[in-house]
């Protein structure tokens, strides 16, 4: 495992797999875990064949053994994540070992995140509306329907695989803010994080179940602008007399022109905030001291 977050690469050993896999394929899943399929202990031979899928968890470094396929996937075998969050596992054995037919066929692997603990197909969140084209560094609106709260929005690059190697795999967790069935989702500003091209956007609920992906094209940035965080001017301490009307205008700005939204928690009873304008109005009726937390734009929080 190579960690480059600190600048200098740090290399550590992760957990071992069930057995050695030569000519196996590693595929990034919708939740950022990695599934390994195919391979054998001896290069392109029916020795120690791995039929099982094994899933690697980047948070723990551990592998979990999953369901088994039917066919051996050896030389020229491959796998791709599909928009429905399943994995197409195909090919292998071209040329095939002696006495084994080449596998000009495919299988579909259904990862555990598509099932309930009782092995029933899980009810999935649905992306109802989303843009088909986005610019880097912008906040986009995504409409969803879901029986459960949304916990993650992920971006997975569409595959580009050959010879058992997918050279275009990338995974990004997208910051988001949920307002009912509407998500405000932040696209990273750095092209090195989201290179131009086609991406799969998944919405994942709090049970870890992903939606079917929305295919999104990321444009080439016209100008490089890595500033994405909106700013909120602190209103400072405010005081008024109980029973008197209040009108407090919050002031915020966004470096790339995204539409701002406002919210507040801890307001005295009788006060409310306009989500579109940031204007706090109403008449507080009960005297006291009220610590507030004000939110501006879509993905950031500022305590005041």
First-to-last C-alpha distance (Å) of the chain: 40
Residue 190 lies in a domain: yes
Residue 248 lies in a domain: yes
| pTM of the full structure | 0.78
Residue-level pLDDT at 97? 86
Residue-level pLDDT at 5? 85
Same domain, 236 and 182: no
Residue-level pLDDT at 302? 35
Task: Encode the chain (304 residues) as per-residue pLDDT tens digits.
Answer: 999 888 899 999 999 999 999 999 999 999 999 999 999 999 999 999 999 999 999 999 999 999 999 999 999 999 999 999 999 999 988 888 887 777 889 999 999 999 999 999 999 999 999 999 998 888 899 999 999 999 999 999 998 888 888 888 999 999 998 989 999 999 988 888 899 999 999 999 999 999 999 999 999 876 655 566 778 888 888 888 888 898 889 888 877 666 777 888 888 888 898 888 889 999 988 887 777 666 555 444 333 3
Same domain, 105 and 145: no
Residue 103 lies in a domain: yes
The residues, any chain, with a CB within 8 Å of residue 289's CB and separated by 6 or more, are: none
Residue 186 lies in a domain: yes
| Closest to 144 measured CA to CA, from 206, 207, 203 | 203
Residue 120 lies in a domain: no
Phi, psi torsion values for 112, nearest 5 degrees: -60, -25
Which CATH number characterizes residue 195's domain? 2.60.40.10
The residues, any chain, with a CB within 8 Å of residue 100's CB and separated by 6 or more, are: 46, 72, 93
Same domain, 174 and 241: no
Same domain, 243 and 205: no
Residue 223 lies in a domain: no
Which CATH number characterizes residue 41's domain? 2.120.10.80
**Hunting for tokens 């695989």 — which residue is that?**
161
Domain boundary among 89, 114, 139: 114
Domain boundary among 159, 188, 218: 218
Residue-level pLDDT at 264? 81
E strands, 17-76, are 25-28, 34-37, 52-56, 63-68
Same domain, 254 and 289: yes
Residue 41 lies in a domain: yes
Domain boundary among 47, 79, 114: 114
Alpha carbons within 13 angstroms on the beta-carbon side of residue 153 total 25
Alpha-carbon gap, residue 282 to 152, rounded angstroms: 35
Residue 299 lies in a domain: yes
Print the domain residue range for 268.
231-303
């Amino acid at each position: 495992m190579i960690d480059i977050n600190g600048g200098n690469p740090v290399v550590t050993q992760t957990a071992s797999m069930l057995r050695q896999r030569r000519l196996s394929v590693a595929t990034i899943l919708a939740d950022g875990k990695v599934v390994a399929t195919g391979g054998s202990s001896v290069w392109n031979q029916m020795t120690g064949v791995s039929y099982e899928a094994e899933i690697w968890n980047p948070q723990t470094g551990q592998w979990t053994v999953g369901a088994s396929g039917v066919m051996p996937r050896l030389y020229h075998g491959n796998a791709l994540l599909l928009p429905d969050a399943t994995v197409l596992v195909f090919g292998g054995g071209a040329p095939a070992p002696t006495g084994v037919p080449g596998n000009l066929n495919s299988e579909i692997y259904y990862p555990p995140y598509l099932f309930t603990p009782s092995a029933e197909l899980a009810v999935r969140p649905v992306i109802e509306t989303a843009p088909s084209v986005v610019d880097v560094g912008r906040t986009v609106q995504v409409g969803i329907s879901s029986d459960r709260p949304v916990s993650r929005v992920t971006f997975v690059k569409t595959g580009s695989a050959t010879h058992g190697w997918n050279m275009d795999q990338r995974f990004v967790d997208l910051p988001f803010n949920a307002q009912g069935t509407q998500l405000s989702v932040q696209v990273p500003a750095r092209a090195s994080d989201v290179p131009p091209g086609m991406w799969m956007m998944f919405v994942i609920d709090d049970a870890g179940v992903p939606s079917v992906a929305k295919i999104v094209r990321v444009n080439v940035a016209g100008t490089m602008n890595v500033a994405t965080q909106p700013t909120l001017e602190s209103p400072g301490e405010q005081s008024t007399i109980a029973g008197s009307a209040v009108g407090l205008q919050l002031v915020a700005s966004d470096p790339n022109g995204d539409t701002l939204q406002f919210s507040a928690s801890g307001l005295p009873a009788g006060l409310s905030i306009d989500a579109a304008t940031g204007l706090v109005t109403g008449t507080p009726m009960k005297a006291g001291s009220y610590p507030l937390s004000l939110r501006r734009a879509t993905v950031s929080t500022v305590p005041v």
